Structure 1
Amino acid sequence: MAMNHIRSLRSIIITKEAVGVVGRRTFAAGGGKAKKGSKGCGASDAPKASTFSEEVKSTTVVGANILKDGIDPKVLPHSECPDWLWHLPDKHPALSELRRKNIETLPYEDLKRFVQLDNRARIKENNSLGANN
């Protein structure tokens, strides 16, 4: 059965003209003019000015609502926010920094991170060695 497909493919002759037609880039008809109500790109796709007032923007987290019937949450003062929120931007130490430290004195979280990063580095090194052969 496979031989029949190969024979039928061999019988197809592709001319240079046919290849040229396939390789050409074509554009949508209409000359680039977007019609009213069309879904195409055009000047109507430009970002629209916000309809929210400055007061609403400063007191609510606009766009944070994920529920259909919900409302956007209000911005809380710093004293009412949880403590973990202020530690989110803290950077984790890099592998080179963890290698310079004494492993026996590392806290559990840093030790766990060191093992993960070290394993990842060894796997990448072994993969690159295998790819070169």
Structure 2
Amino acid sequence: MLQDKVMAMNQIRSLRSLILSKETVRDVGRRSFATGPGKAKKGGKGGAASDAPKASSLTKEAKSTTVVGANILKDGADPKVLLDSEYPDWLWRLLDKRPPLSELRRKNIETLPYEELRRFVKLDNRARIKENNSLKAKN
């Protein structure tokens, strides 16, 4: 019994020294980066200071009347928000749920509208190509 306690105390001491050595290795191995004037190049790699998000200087009115961040041109300006009637009809159907291939296969192909028929052909071709590729990969 006494011998077990002594062994346990010795193991605790060795663990403490191991923990201390890991902490010192971690502290010694810690890398610090040079900062301050003259240390970092302007426009160089790793520009963490310049990549930080900046506080918006736009007013609430400007945010509600323009599409902020949509400008892709160097000298351009953000586009203005238009009325819903001024946008094309297809834009409002972009997020509609479309039936998956399994559901399109269950329907009668002859009665499908043109857009769904096109989608069926595309998805069916894609599925056949994947199946053929998997069969070739097994051989």
TM-score, structure 2 length as denominator? 0.62
SS at match of 2:123: helix
User: Counterparts of 1:33-112 in structure 2 under 5 Å?
Assistant: 33-36=34-37, 37-38=40-41, 39=44, 41=46, 44=49, 45-112=51-118
Q: Greater share of helix residues, 1 or 2?
A: 2
Uncovered stretches (5+) of structure 1, i.e. residues with no partner = 1-29
Matched, 1:119 2:120: no
How many residue pairs align between the two structures?
104
Cα-to-partner distance string for 1:5-56 (whole Å, 9 max, x where unaligned): xxxxxxxxxxxxxxxxxxxxxxxxx821334453354762432222222221
- Could you tell me how far apart the structure 2 residues matched to 1:43 and 1:104 are? 58
TM-score, structure 1 length as denominator? 0.64
Instruction: Compare CA radii of gyration and give the structure with the larger one.
Output: 2
CA RMSD of aligned residues (A): 2.3
Uncovered stretches (5+) of structure 2, i.e. residues with no partner = 1-30
Structure 1 vs Structure 2: percent identity of aligned residues? 70
